[in-house]
A = this chain, B = another copy of it.
Amino acid sequence: MEAPKQEQGEPARLPTIKDVAGLAGVATSTVSRALSNPDRVNRRTRERIEEVAARLNYVPSSQARGLSSGRTNAVAVLVPDITNPFYFDIIRGTQHQLKAAGFTQLLVDTEESSEMELDALHKMRRSADGFILAASRLTDAELAEVSGTQPLVTINRASAIAPSVVIDTPSAIIQALEHLASLGHQRVCYVSGPPTSWSNHMRWKVFEEESAHRGMDAHRIGPFVPKTTSGAAAADAAVRTGATACIVFNDLLAIGMLQRLRERGIRVPEDISIVGSDDIFGADFCNPPLTTIASPIEQAGRVAVSMLLSQLNPTPGRSSRQLAVMPTHLTIRASTGPAPAQA
């Protein structure tokens, strides 16, 4: 494949603010202001400058801009696992909102590791104006330290320390248990995810309390890596508890369980009911379609961006919001059904 390398004859130097200034007959400072601070300059001048800029196809260098202004117009979004559809939804949300605000999104996969998370936070502190931490794996202390240094907002990780947007887990778990109770389930099991996950912790806590409150028999298994591949182990463990219904840390794991149960000939929902969480892509068309705790994840991403941005340039009047709670609702599909008759 020796395709001809087409070389550019002209190095085609990109036009700079200087070129614009020259052609418009003003100083570079005026061009700078005309473009980023329009009121600071006479309308006529501004229009002339804009015209020249457009003609030259001028695009300011974000590098230079960042260097002199101290702002980068970029926000880093840190997710534990870029592979997980759940985060895709968040990424979609942040991407959308950031773009709307003229910001660039820097996507980072922290691979479920708090070290990588800290490292990224540190390495990028110069290249991003702020951070969005999705499902942070940081300890409270670490979070506090980082939060003191740079603007950030967390998703699915509440703390008094940093602004955060969280899913209304308690309500979700309660809804799910209510649903299961109404189907006659008595022996229920929580299938847990990563031990470092705050939301996993929350879910179990509420699960435990609420099932006790309803006089249900609560089990817990795990932790499991929240991937479909861990579903087999989770399914086997779940069956072993004798529970007739499971609430699973997330849909990925739940879908994996579904597959395993099917392999083992255990019918869902006739033999065991499964409730997932997050309503990710695929939850509606797996087999059987998954009953799951749905929440507006993409919107969570958007809200997080809004909170971050209002933190970046604070409106003197009102202080920016410190906590946003996203509503949840149970989406009932075919993976939950009446509890099997007593054996």
Are A8 and B88 within 8 A (Cβ)? no
Q: Please name the residue on chain B nearest to A286 by beta carbon.
A: B285
Residues of chain B with a CB closer than 8 A to A14's CB: 125-126
Distance A14 CA – B160 CA, assembled complex (angstroms): 26
Check: A66 CB closer than 8 A to any chain B CB.
yes
Asked if A6 is at the interface of the complex by the 8 Å CB criterion, the answer is yes
Residues on B with C-beta less than 8 A from A310 are none
B126 and A109 within 8 A (CB)? no
Least Cβ distance of A184 to chain B in Å? 26
Contact A85 B281 (CB under 8 A): yes
- CB contacts under 8 Å to B, within A1-36, are 1-3, 5-6, 8, 12, 14
Looking at A98-106, A187-195, A204-212, A215-223, the stretch in contact with chain B turns out to be: A98-106
A107 touches B95 (CB 8 A): yes
Interface residue? A233 (CB, 8 A) = no
A323 touches B1 (CB 8 A): yes
CA distance A282 to B319 in the complex (A): 43
A95 vs B83: C-alpha distance when bound (angstroms): 11
Considering only residues 268-302 of chain A, those with a C-beta below 8 Å from chain B are: 281-282, 285-288
Q: How many residues of A contact B (CB 8 A)?
A: 55
Query: Chain B residues near A213 (CB, 8 Å)?
Result: none
A255 within 8 A of B: yes
Minimum CB–CB distance for A218 against chain B, Å: 28
Report the copy number of this chain in the oligomer. 2
Question: Are A109 and B104 in contact, CB atoms less than 8 angstroms apart?
Answer: no
Residue A59 lies at the interface, judged by CB distance under 8 Å to chain B: yes
A59 touching B123 in the complex, CB below 8 Å, given contacts A286-B287, A322-B3: yes
Q: Which residues of B contact A6 (CB under 8 A)?
A: 148
Q: Are A5 and B281 in contact (CB under 8 A)?
A: no
Q: Report if A61 contacts B (CB, 8 A).
A: yes
- In the complex, the answer to whether A61 meets B57 with C-beta atoms within 8 Å is no
Let me know if B126 and A61 touch, CB within 8 A.
yes
One of B64, B123, B285 near A67 (C-beta < 8 A)? B64
Interface set of A (CB-CB < 8 Å, partner B):
1-3, 5-6, 8, 12, 14, 57, 59-64, 66-67, 72, 82-83, 85, 88, 91-92, 95-96, 99, 104-107, 109, 122-123, 125-127, 148-149, 160, 163, 228, 255, 258-259, 281-282, 285-288, 319, 321-323
